[in-house]
Structure 1
Amino acid sequence: MLIIRLLAPLLLALLAWWGLRNLKHRYALTTSQFRWLVGITALLLVVVILIVMGRLPIQALLAPFIFILSFMLRNVHLLIRLLPLLRMGHSKWGSNRNWGRAGNNTTPGASGIRTLWLDMSLDHQTGNMDGEILQGAFQHKKLSELTMEQLLALATACQQDADSLQLLEAYLDRMHPDWREDPAAAASSTGSQRASASDADMTEALALEILGLSAGASAEEITLAHRRLMQKLHPDRGGSDYLAQRINAARDFLLG
């Protein structure tokens, strides 16, 4: 019995760490976000262990603990997606060094953030988001000027930068709420001429951008980049059919 009581906390910690690592990879968490999640989980683990060991009165702590834990488990994906928007709110008080900078898109009554790929703004009165693309095939264009297919192509291109990807996902969640369920239908609703993904508009620059490669990449580099992206964005791993099709189209274009 003593051995079980000693091993139980270690087992709980290992399971928690395994779960946290899965969350980090699934939602592309930044280092800061992951540290916050580890801290909160560690605090909850300490409370659970103390309750199990009889050091804390379970009657007083169990009810609120279960409520908080169940709420977090049910809404963890929403909380993670809202982090970029929460940062925008904090910029009003200057609490985040990345927010509130005087970028090209910020105006009175708006908050702004600049990442490697995006210079975003949030209108405080209307709640509308928009931003300028800073690099890649759509450089200098506004997000509001892109079709849904182009927005999703941008998502695959910037997926290596967690801040830019989460900011773009926050924009899509706010401006195109149905984009996760049916990207093709969402593309049609925004005026796209194509109802589903195709390689008709694929160019060498866009294909290289999607795969995260530079000009002159070898066939082996293209294959490895394709394999790496499919491991992250395949529908069976939490990605979407559309993103998988675009990655395949980029590979086929470069190898063809």
Structure 2
Amino acid sequence: MTITLITGANRGLGKETARRLIAAGHTVYIGARDKRLGEEAAAELGGRPLALDITDDASVRAAAEQVGAEAGCLDVLVNNAGIIGPGNDAHDATAEQVRTTYETNVFGAVRVTHAFLPLLEASESPVIVNVSSSLGSLGIAAAPERHTSILPVYYPALAYNSSKAALNMITAQYARTHPKMRINAVDPGHTATDLNGHTGPQTVAEGADIIVRMALIGPDGPTGGFFGNDGPVPW
């Protein structure tokens, strides 16, 4: 039995990823900040509800204790929860606005990963998937016109883009210090979700492809990489 936790799994990419991993035989914890919405999604999908606010230390600790008591280990962690957040205008952004975005997209991922590391270390083949974005690629930001096959339209957003760049570096550092784990960042592409007002050209099913693929890798799979549906994404 493969035990999986997906944060922000009550809607969008997280919910679609949960649906497909459950179909693949995983026991999936549906992490959701709103307890009721998480329970509804879990009932619909056949997963296990898990109240989890990734910006709150006590909530994350309680979630880790629950999974530990019920499952004893964690095989796959998908750090999916994220926000666009304020502070995206590079001219007007304040430190406090940027901090709001980082609290979820960066500190939230670290908070959850740190809390669940003992359960991941108890797995025979632990996997972490960090849901990033090609907007967080420094290579693409330096010359977006060279990478239109990966990111057809480049959107400058100080807080969001830099938070995903930070998540990419966090991924690389965890992978380096935990060589027995498979730890990767993924770029789902511009997908129509609540996050962007359903403006993306991709469907949720298309966007979830790379998340599901990397969640299913075995011990011989890649680690410390950044991948999209068409292959590696520039750092």
TM over 0.5: no
Q: TM-score range by the shorter chain?
A: under 0.3
Greater share of strand: 2
TM-score (norm 1): 0.22
Q: Which has the higher contact order (CA 8 A, sep 6+)?
A: 2
Greater share of helix: 1
TM-score (norm 2): 0.24
